[in-house]
Amino acid sequence: MTRKVYIETVGCQMNVLDSELVIGSLRKEGYSLAETAFEAEVILFNTCSVRAHAEDKIYSALGRLREHMNEHPEKVLGILGCMAQKDQDKILKRAPHVDLVCGPGQLERVPELIEAAKASGRPQMALSLGRKEATRHDVEASFISYDPIRDASMRPTPFQAYLRIQIGCDKFCTYCVVPSTRGPEQSRSPEHILSEANQLVDQGCREITLLGQTVNSYRFDHGDGRKTCLSDLLIRLSGINGLDRIRFVTNYPLDMTNDLIDAVRDLPKMVKYFHVPAQSGCDEVLLRMKRQYTISQYDEMRQRIRDRAPEASVSSDFIVGFSGETEESFQKSVDIVNRSAFKNSYIFKYSPREGTRAFDKYVDDVPEEVKKRRNNDLLVAQNQQSLFLHRHWIGKEVEVLVEGLSLTTQREVKRLGFLPHADSPVQMTGRTMHDLIVVFDGMPRLAGSMAKVHITDTTAFTLFGQIATVENQTTLNEKQMAQARHAAARFNPSPTPKEGNISLPMA
Ligand code: SAH
Ligand code: SF4
Ligand code: F3S
């Protein structure tokens, strides 16, 4: 009997990548993917702690599995990721049927831990050191960048991939768990990154998204006086034949240098897009958040992007209802949305997190109803901006990397229970070079191709159009094509970094 593993992933792109890699390594041990937890021998949750909601979802999923696990003591139930690092043995206290707790800095041990849990019948833990538990060097060493050989079959689509260039975070925003769950900021060497990118392109990958919590703080010290920053890296990655598009997330406003903006503008393969969260439009709130910039510095950075790369899209994140946020300070977040022309914003209600500075120091004093209202008000303001920006594209022709079936088609596929033929006329979706979502009539065969689409209509979230031309050759072979069609059926066209309130629902 082949061994089966089931995995559920919440959280940001880092987690999506980690899950891909963990499953890749388990495949090498002879595992295949199960569709449901009940048919799997190993059940894994790759977790997120950024907001309470993300953790609650996992704890209730664990509750639902309690009886099943008690009936099947031979099975292994594992908690991976940020919640594992944050809650540690608290997880075992709340859910004693868990067999494995493994933080994001120890994922390479997952196959070995599964075997140990099976052999001993006792829970296994693999965690990195706390930020104050040892010297920086030792803490860094306990967060191992997990980047084994890539397995194309584990990705949502074979032609798009995430590539980690940095782990951890050193910014310590007062509301945020990430610096403790992901550890100290460390940049990977350009050689490792380039070799992984080449490997991905050999596997049929056309678009790579570089990942880092503050990706534009990327800086690799070669130890011989040479340093590589993000713009240097982009130039080198641009030289890879067969790679068509390069993106990177998430940016930190103070590290948005001119050389980076110019690289995005000038390098033809760069997607003209900066995700650079403001978090709030009010200086007092930013100070309590310890974001380390003022609104005038953010505005200056936004203006520099306008001046140097006028075409580039910019998007943001906001937290509403942070401790001490008054109506007046919230209004300043609405104001910054109204003047910044963000393509979209991800908006979150403040969720106090144990272990963060804000949790210890400030009271969560904005009532839930007020957070909700502010969240909606900010969404309304953002959607007006989004609609205005999207309208600019009506009548124009854009180049789209076709990602897969549109959400409407995906729903239809689910309802009917079978996949459309590669040549069936269905609605497809993709993204432009400015990171805008486009929906158009096409066929599954187009997944992974570049198409020119003439834009005829728009909402605040999605452009609609007709295909003008498709590049005459898809780079995918038959096997990859079949995989793309399967993937397309379960692929969310916009893998968003976070669940939460997104100002851009999909088509
Ligand atoms: N490193 C990225 C992303 C961090 S987490 C960055 O710095 O932008 C993604 C987003 O979640 C953050 O940008 C922030 O808007 C939100 N977030 C983080 N902690 C939160 C909390 N405690 N409550 C609500 N939203 C939070
Ligand atoms: Fe969290 Fe701030 Fe680091 Fe982003 S920059 S991961 S919000 S601490
Ligand atoms: Fe969540 Fe960890 Fe990412 S807390 S947002 S999964 S870095």
What is the enclosing helix (H) or strand (E) of 249?
Answer: strand 245-249
Contact 405, 474 (CB under 8 A): no
* Spatial distance between the Cα atoms of 449 and 456, rounded to a whole number of angstroms: 21
The encoded tokens of residue 369 equal 């109803």
pTM for the model stands at 0.93
Task: Enumerate residues 6+ apart whose C-beta is below 8 A from 310.
Answer: none
Asked whether the predicted pLDDT for residue 502 surpasses 50, the reply is: no
The encoded tokens of residue 315 equal 């998007």
Superfamily of segment(s) 145-385: tm_1862 like domain (3.80.30.20)
Asked whether the predicted pLDDT for residue 154 surpasses 90, the reply is: no
Rg (CA), the chain: 23
Task: Enumerate residues 6+ apart whose C-beta is below 8 A from 106.
Answer: 126, 127, 128, 142, 144
Residue of minimum CA distance from atom 11 in ligand 1? 50
Q: Strand, helix or coil at 96?
A: coil
Low-confidence winner among 235-239, 408-412, 430-434, 502-506 (lowest mean pLDDT): 502-506
Express as a percent the part of the chain with pLDDT over 70.
93
Ligand 2 atom nearest 182 alpha carbon: 6
Contact 105, 182 (CB under 8 A): yes
Q: How much distance in Å is there from the Cα of 190 to the middle of ligand 1? A: 27
Express as a percent the part of the chain with pLDDT over 90.
84
pLDDT of residue 281: 98
Q: How much distance in Å is there from the Cα of 488 to the middle of ligand 2? A: 32
Cis peptide before 250 (omega within 30 of 0): yes
The encoded tokens of residue 494 equal 């916009």
Asked whether the predicted pLDDT for residue 495 surpasses 50, the reply is: no
Burial class (CB in 10 A: 0-12, 13-18, 19+), 268: exposed
* Spatial distance between the Cα atoms of 148 and 22, rounded to a whole number of angstroms: 9
Place of tokens 């004693």: 96
- pLDDT one-digit tens code per residue, 258-282: 999 999 999 999 999 999 999 999 9
Asked whether the predicted pLDDT for residue 494 surpasses 60, the reply is: no
pLDDT category at 503 given cuts 50, 70, 90 is very low
pLDDT category at 484 given cuts 50, 70, 90 is low
Query: Domain residue spans in the chain?
Result: 3-140, 145-385, 397-490
Strand-pair partners of 399: 452
The encoded tokens of residue 278 equal 């403001």
Q: Is 453 in the pocket of ligand 1 (CB under 6 A)?
A: no
Q: Is 50 in the pocket of ligand 3 (CB under 6 A)?
A: yes
Asked whether the predicted pLDDT for residue 167 surpasses 60, the reply is: yes
* Spatial distance between the Cα atoms of 259 and 221, rounded to a whole number of angstroms: 18
Beta-strand relationship, 124-126 and 100-102: parallel
Q: Which CATH architecture has domain 397-490?
A: Beta Barrel (2.40)
User: What is the full DSSP assignment across 339-360?
Assistant: HH--S-EEEEE----TTSHHHH
Packing angle, helices 295-308 and 327-340, rounded to 10:
10
Q: Which whole number is the average pLDDT over 109-129?
A: 96
Strand-pair partners of 161: 208
Q: Is 291 in the pocket of ligand 1 (CB under 6 A)?
A: no
Mean pLDDT, the chain, integer: 92
pLDDT of residue 496: 36
What is the enclosing helix (H) or strand (E) of 234?
Answer: helix 230-238
Q: Is 15 in the pocket of ligand 3 (CB under 6 A)?
A: yes
* Spatial distance between the Cα atoms of 450 and 473, rounded to a whole number of angstroms: 9
Q: Is 169 in the pocket of ligand 3 (CB under 6 A)?
A: no
pLDDT of residue 421: 85
- pLDDT one-digit tens code per residue, 177-212: 999 999 999 999 999 999 999 999 999 999 999 999
What CATH code would you report for 3-140?
A: 3.40.50.12160
Q: How much distance in Å is there from the Cα of 50 to the middle of ligand 1? A: 7
- pLDDT one-digit tens code per residue, 301-358: 999 999 999 999 999 999 999 999 999 999 999 999 999 999 999 999 999 999 999 9
Residue of minimum CA distance from atom 1 in ligand 2? 176
Residue of minimum CA distance from atom 5 in ligand 1? 50
Task: Enumerate residues 6+ apart whose C-beta is below 8 A from 60.
Answer: none
φ/ψ (deg, to 5) at 320: -105, 150
